[in-house]
C-alpha cells in the first residue's frame, strides 16, 4: 500500500512524479486501513541527504502490505551541515524528542560519512546510541545499512570494522542466500546482485560468535545481510539495497571530478560489475581524454553521464524490495495497533 504525504516534505511530490503511489493525507484518513509509522534516521551528508531519503521511502512505499506508511525523517545533532541543509532539516524533519514522545512502529537508519579513525569518535556516535537505546526499550524493529550497521555492531557487540586489504570495495557483486527458511527471505531469489561502496568490512566469524545470523553473503563482498540474535529486532545490511540504478555512476562521476581537481592522485577504476562492454568503452575513452587534457593543461571534457546512464542495468531492486516488504510484514504482524496514532508529528 502507498506512502502518505502527511507533511510538505518535497520527496513525496518527487516520488509521485516518478510514478510512485502517494496518498494525500485527506485521501488517507478516508480509508479504513491500518497505519505504520516508520522513522528514517538520515545521517547522510548534505549532497546525499535528499537522495537517500527518497531511496528508502521508495523501498517502503513499494511494499504490498495492507497498510498506509507514514515516514518520519529525523537526524542527529553534531553532523556538519550547510546553512541551506540546516534550513531544510528545520523545515521538514522531526526532532528526536518528537519521535520519542509519539512513538514509531519501525525505524530505518542510513549510513553517514566519517572523518575520524574510530566510529566512537564521530559526532553521531552518542546521539545514535541514545536512539538505539530508546528503540530497544520500546521494542521498535530497526533496519540499517552500511555505516549504520558498522556503528551498531560496534556499539552493541564490540565488533570493530576492519579496513579492507584491497582498498575500496566498490561495485555490484553477486550474492547468495545462506539461510533460506528465514521469514525475511520469503519468496526471495536465492542468487542476485547487491551494490557496495565501502573501505571497511565486518566479517562472518565475529558476527556469528556474537549470536547474529548471516542471511546473505558474497564470495567477493562478504556478508550483506544479518539479523540480531532474536532474529528480527535489528536487521543489518552491509551493502546498499536502497541504491538507485545510477547511484554508483554519480559516485564515479564525483571521483573523476576529484581526480581532475587534484584531490586524488589516481584516476578512479570502474565500479566492479557495473558497466557493460559499451559503457566500459565510453568510460575508457573519457579517461583517455581527461588524462590527455590535463597533460596538455587544457580543460577536461564533460563527464559522459548522459551516454552512460541508459546503458546501466539494475539487478538488485526486486530483491531489495522483497526483503523490505518481508520486514514490514513482520513489523505489521507485531505492531500494537491499539496505541494512539501518531499523525500529529
Query: What is this structure's pTM?
Result: 0.90
Catalytic residue among 224, 242, 255, 286: 242
Q: Tell me if residue 146 is catalytic.
A: yes
Q: Are residues 306 and 321 in the same domain?
A: no
Q: Are residues 167 and 301 in the same domain?
A: no
Q: How far apart are CA 236 and CA 225, in angstroms?
A: 6
Residue 345 lies inside a defined structural domain of this protein: no
Q: Are residues 282 and 142 in the same domain?
A: no
Residue 344 lies inside a defined structural domain of this protein: no
Q: How far apart are CA 206 and CA 202, in angstroms?
A: 8
Cα-based distances in Å from 76 to 23, 40, 73, 126, 132: 28, 11, 11, 9, 12
Instruction: Give me the pLDDT at residue 32, please.
Output: 63
- Beta-strand runs (E) in the chain: 3-5, 22-24, 35-41, 68-74, 106-109, 142-145, 162-163, 169-177, 191-198, 200-201, 213-218, 222-227, 234-237
Summarize pLDDT for 22-70 with one digit per residue, the tens. 878 777 666 667 889 999 999 999 999 999 999 999 999 988 767 889 9
Instruction: Give me the pLDDT at residue 23, please.
Output: 79
Residue 223 lies inside a defined structural domain of this protein: yes
Instruction: Give me the pLDDT at residue 341, please.
Output: 47
Residue 342 lies inside a defined structural domain of this protein: no
CATH number for the domain spanning 153: value is 3.40.50.880
Q: Are residues 113 and 155 in the same domain?
A: yes
Q: Are residues 137 and 269 in the same domain?
A: no
Residue 139 lies inside a defined structural domain of this protein: yes
Q: Tell me if residue 240 is catalytic.
A: yes
Q: Are residues 294 and 224 in the same domain?
A: no
Summarize pLDDT for 279-320 with one digit per residue, the tens. 999 999 999 999 999 999 999 999 999 999 999 999 999 999
Catalytic residue among 72, 122, 146, 217: 146
Q: Tell me if residue 144 is catalytic.
A: no
Q: How far apart are CA 14 and CA 29, in angstroms?
A: 22
Maximum C-alpha span of the chain = 70
Q: How far apart are CA 51 and CA 40, in angstroms?
A: 13
Q: Which domain holds residue 81?
A: 3-243+315-334
Residue 339 lies inside a defined structural domain of this protein: no
- Total structural domains within the chain: 2
Amino acid at each position: 500500500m502507498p506512502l502518505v504525504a502527511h507533511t510538505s516534505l518535497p520527496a513525496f511530490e518527487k516520488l509521485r512524479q516518478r510514478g510512485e503511489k502517494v496518498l494525500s493525507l485527506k485521501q488517507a484518513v478516508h480509508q479504513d486501513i491500518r497505519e505504520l509509522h516508520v522513522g528514517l534516521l538520515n545521517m547522510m551528508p548534505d549532497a546525499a541527504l535528499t537522495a537517500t531519503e527518497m531511496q528508502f521511502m521508495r523501498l517502503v512505499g513499494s511494499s504490498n502490505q495492507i497498510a498506509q506508511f507514514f515516514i518520519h525523517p529525523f537526524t542527529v545533532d553534531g553532523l556538519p551541515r550547510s546553512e541551506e541543509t540546516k534550513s531544510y532539516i528545520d523545515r521538514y524533519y522531526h526532532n528526536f524528542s518528537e519521535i520519542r514522545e509519539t512513538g514509531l512502529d519501525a525505524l530505518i537508519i542510513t549510513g553517514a560519512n566519517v572523518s575520524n579513525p574510530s566510529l566512537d569518535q564521530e559526532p553521531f556516535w552518542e546521539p545514535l546510541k541514545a536512539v538505539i537505546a530508546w528503540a530497544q526499550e520500546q521494542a521498535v524493529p530497526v533496519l540499517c545499512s552500511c555505516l549504520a550497521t558498522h556503528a551498531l555492531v560496534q556499539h552493541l557487540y564490540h565488533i570493530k570494522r576492519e579496513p579492507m586489504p584491497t582498498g575500496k570495495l566498490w561495485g555490484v557483486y553477486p550474492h547468495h542466500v545462506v539461510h533460506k527458511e528465514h521469514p525475511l527471505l520469503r519468496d526471495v531469489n536465492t542468487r542476485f546482485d547487491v551494490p557496495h561502496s565501502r573501505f571497511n568490512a565486518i566479517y562472518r566469524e565475529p558476527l556469528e560468535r556474537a549470536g547474529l545470523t548471516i542471511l546473505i553473503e558474497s564470495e567477493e563482498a562478504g556478508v550483506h545481510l544479518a539479523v540480531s540474535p532474536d532474529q528480527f529486532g535489528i536487521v543489518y545490511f552491509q551493502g546498499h539495497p536502497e541504491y538507485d540504478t545510477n547511484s554508483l555512476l554519480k559516485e564515479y562521476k564525483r571521483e573523476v571530478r576529484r581526480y581532475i581537481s587534484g584531490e586524488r592522485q589516481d584516476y578512479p577504476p570502474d565500479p566492479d560489475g557495473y558497466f557493460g562492454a559499451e559503457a566500459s568503452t565510453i568510460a575508457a575513452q573519457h579517461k583517455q581524454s581527461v588524462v590527455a587534457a590535463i597533460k596538455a593543461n587544457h580543460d577536461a571534457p564533460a563527464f559522459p553521464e548522459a551516454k552512460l546512464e541508459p546503458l546501466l542495468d539494475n539487478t538488485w531492486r526486486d530483491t531489495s524490495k522483497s526483503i523490505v516488504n518481508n520486514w514490514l510484514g513482520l513489523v505489521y504482524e507485531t505492531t500494537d495497533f491499539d496505541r494512539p496514532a501518531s499523525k500529529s508529528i
